[in-house]
């Protein structure tokens, strides 16, 4: 049995078990449990040697199965069924739910464009969307089990680095590609992912450099950093600290906070006592409570302190009753110059709504197109075969900007270099961009002032 099939069988059992547990103790639950037990027994019988075989034959069959599995892994992991199936785990719920609509919409647009151009292997790509939740739930694990049971060849997401770290071993261990449009933690660069993890978002070492440069350019000599105590928050906070100190700045306070707290009085009191020129808040939706408390303590954006946020908390204005308390606050976020992709933004907003956040929509679209082109180039929907082609699709070949154009290059025997809406990417060996553009957002008295957006490039 191939490694990929074994993982998917286990995922199927997990999915059935979760459904049965959720159904309670009523008659329906008994029926579901019986059905699950019957199917599990049937699958188990199919996997076991026939009863009339002797023990020696069973051992030989076991050895043969192991040899076959090793050969399958050496050849590229699982088996191709001729249909590229893409699953997603985006934040429909949880701390980053404000990013969900753009990622979900970007995925739908990408698959629609791919299928309109003839699909992959002349078959429509199948899209199975799912929720990632956040680290306070087990939503991502449940969804990954479901997607693997549906024969997903690649899973796009999660948005949260911390959530991705809870499922990366399950996904890549199943021989399936994991491709995030929004993970920025530096932890992924050297992660033991069997060469199956990729991201269109740049690592935090780049955003940390950009944010530190902005702090110095603003004239800040001292700064304090308040951050979520998890992979994303810790990694970005360390990158900002390292670059700010290297440029001659001083970090007064370096304050982590637990992700499940609601009151930030003690942490904000530390910020108030520090008296830093600038404060950097690295968090998610809980940043709304942090900024409200900072405003009450007179260390918020409307005070004499320069306050900065990051991509994880750009949506906090919708969570604050009086967004004017954010006036003067600035944010860094990985983003292509939106002025250069107005066509895509217009299409995306028509899909998800004018008032929704568009961050990572282009990166999501591109991650799916890159995956589809890699599959087409590999001639297989096997995850390991796809992964072997992904980096090459982003650089070194003939330039192309749409799936249809790049697919024609492949058909003609060429090597496509996809420059998508959020690119160019030019992936390095680790499966991530070597350089990226960052948007500097500014908030006015009535919320974000898009007219004041600036862009910087880092490599």
Distance CA 447, CA 324 (A): 7
Q: Is 282 left (phi over 0), alpha (psi -120 to 50) or beta?
A: beta
Report which secondary-structure segment, H or E, holds 326.
none
Model pLDDT for residues 68-124, shown as the tens digit of each residue: 334 333 333 345 799 999 999 999 999 999 999 999 999 999 999 999 999 999 999
Distance CA 55, CA 70 (A): 23
Distance CA 334, CA 341 (A): 15
* Paired tokens of 400: 């192309």
Please, what are the averages of pLDDT over each run of 10 residues along the chain (459 residues)?
A: 46 41 38 40 41 42 41 42 97 96 98 98 98 96 98 98 98 98 96 98 96 98 97 96 98 96 95 97 96 96 97 90 94 92 96 94 98 98 98 95 98 96 93 95 89 92
Q: How many residues does the chain have?
A: 459
The DSSP annotation for 197-261 comes to EEESSPPHHHHHHHHHHHHHHTT-SEEEEEEESSHHHHHHHHHHHHHHHHTT-EEEEEEEE-TT-
> Would strands 454-458 and 436-444 be described as parallel, antiparallel, or unpaired?
antiparallel
Q: Which of 375, 408, 380 is nearest to 392 (CA)?
A: 375
72 cis-preceded (ω within 30 degrees of 0): no
Distance CA 104, CA 91 (A): 9
Q: Which pLDDT value is given to residue 450?
A: 84
* Paired tokens of 288: 């709304």
Report which secondary-structure segment, H or E, holds 441.
strand 436-444
Q: Which pLDDT value is given to residue 420?
A: 94
In sequence order, what are the residues at sequence separation of 6 or more whose Cβ sits closer than 8 angstroms to the Cβ of residue 127? 86, 87, 88, 107, 108, 111
Q: Which pLDDT value is given to residue 19?
A: 35
Q: Which pLDDT value is given to residue 186?
A: 95
Rounded to an integer, what is the distance from CA 288 to the centroid of its chain? 23
127 cis-preceded (ω within 30 degrees of 0): no
The DSSP annotation for 92-141 comes to SSSTTGGGHHHHHHHHHHHHHHHHHTT-BTTBPPEEE--B---TTSSHHH
Q: Are 370 and 427 within 8 A, CB to CB?
A: no
Q: What is the pTM of this model?
A: 0.80
Q: Which of 391, 401, 376, 387 is nearest to 427 (CA)?
A: 391
The DSSP annotation for 327-345 comes to TT-EEEEE---GGG-HHHH
Distance CA 173, CA 3 (A): 8
Q: Which pLDDT value is given to residue 79?
A: 58
Q: Which of 209, 415, 121, 184 is nearest to 312 (CA)?
A: 184
Beta carbons within 10 angstroms of residue 402's beta carbon = 16
In this structure, the dihedral spanned by the alpha carbons of residues 421, 424, 426 and 427, taken in order and rounded to 10 degrees, is -30
Q: Are 133 and 163 within 8 A, CB to CB?
A: yes
The CATH-assigned architecture of domain 205-336+437-458 is 3-Layer(aba) Sandwich (3.40)
Q: Which pLDDT value is given to residue 44?
A: 40
CATH 3.40.50.2300 spans which residues of the chain? Answer: 85-201+360-424, 205-336+437-458
Looking from the CA of 214 toward its CB, the CA atoms found within 13 Å total 30
Q: Is 102 left (phi over 0), alpha (psi -120 to 50) or beta?
A: alpha
Q: What is the CATH T-level fold of the domain 85-201+360-424, as seen in this structure?
A: Rossmann fold (3.40.50)
In sequence order, what are the residues at sequence separation of 6 or more whose Cβ sits closer than 8 angstroms to the Cβ of residue 338? 345, 358, 439, 453
Beta carbons within 10 angstroms of residue 360's beta carbon = 27
């Amino acid at each position: 049995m191939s490694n990929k099939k074994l993982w998917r069988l286990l995922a199927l059992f997990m999915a059935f078990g979760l459904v049965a547990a959720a159904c309670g103790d009523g008659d329906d639950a008994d029926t579901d449990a019986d059905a699950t037990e019957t199917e599990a027994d049937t699958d188990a019988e199919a996997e076991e040697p026939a009863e009339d075989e002797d023990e020696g034959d069973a051992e030989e069959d076991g050895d043969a199965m192991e040899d076959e599995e090793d050969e399958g892994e050496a050849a590229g992991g699982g088996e191709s069924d001729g249909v590229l199936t893409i699953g997603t785990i985006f934040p429909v719920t949880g701390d980053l739910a404000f990013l969900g609509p753009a990622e979900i919409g970007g995925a739908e647009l990408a698959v629609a464009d791919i299928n309109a151009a003839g699909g992959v292997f002349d078959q429509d790509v199948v899209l199975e969307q799912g929720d990632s939740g956040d680290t306070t739930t087990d939503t991502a694990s449940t969804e990954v089990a479901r997607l693997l049971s549906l024969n997903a060849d690649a899973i796009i997401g999660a948005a949260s680095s911390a959530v991705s770290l809870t499922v990366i071993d399950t996904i890549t261990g199943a021989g399936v590609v994991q491709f995030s449009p929004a993970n920025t933690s530096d932890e992924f660069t050297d992660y033991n992912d069997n060469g199956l993890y990729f991201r269109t978002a740049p690592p935090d070492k780049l955003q940390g450099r950009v944010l530190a440069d902005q702090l110095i350019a603003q004239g800040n000599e001292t700064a304090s950093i308040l951050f979520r105590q998890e992979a994303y928050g810790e990694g970005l906070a360390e990158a900002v600290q390292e670059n700010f100190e290297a440029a001659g700045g001083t970090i007064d306070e370096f304050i982590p906070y637990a992700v499940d707290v609601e009151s930030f009085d003690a942490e904000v009191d530390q910020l108030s006592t520090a008296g830093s020129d600038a404060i950097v808040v690295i968090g998610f939706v809980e940043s709304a409570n942090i900024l409200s408390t900072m405003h009450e303590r007179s260390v918020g954006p409307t005070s004499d302190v320069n306050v900065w946020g990051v991509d994880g908390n750009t949506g906090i204005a919708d969570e604050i009753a009086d967004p004017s308390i954010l006036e003067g606050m600035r944010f860094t976020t990985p983003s292509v110059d939106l002025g250069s992709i107005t066509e895509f933004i217009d299409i995306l907003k028509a899909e998800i709504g004018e008032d929704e956040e568009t961050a990572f929509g282009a990166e999501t679209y591109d991650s799916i197109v890159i995956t589809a082109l890699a599959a087409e180039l590999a001639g297989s929907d096997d995850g390991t075969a796809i992964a072997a082609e992904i980096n090459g699709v982003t650089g070194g070949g003939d330039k192309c900007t749409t799936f249809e154009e790049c697919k024609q290059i492949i058909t003609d025997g060429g090597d496509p270099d996809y420059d998508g809406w959020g690119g160019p990417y030019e992936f390095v060996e680790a499966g991530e961009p070597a350089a990226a553009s960052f948007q500097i957002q500014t908030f006015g008295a009535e919320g974000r002032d898009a007219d004041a957006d600036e862009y910087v490039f880092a490599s």
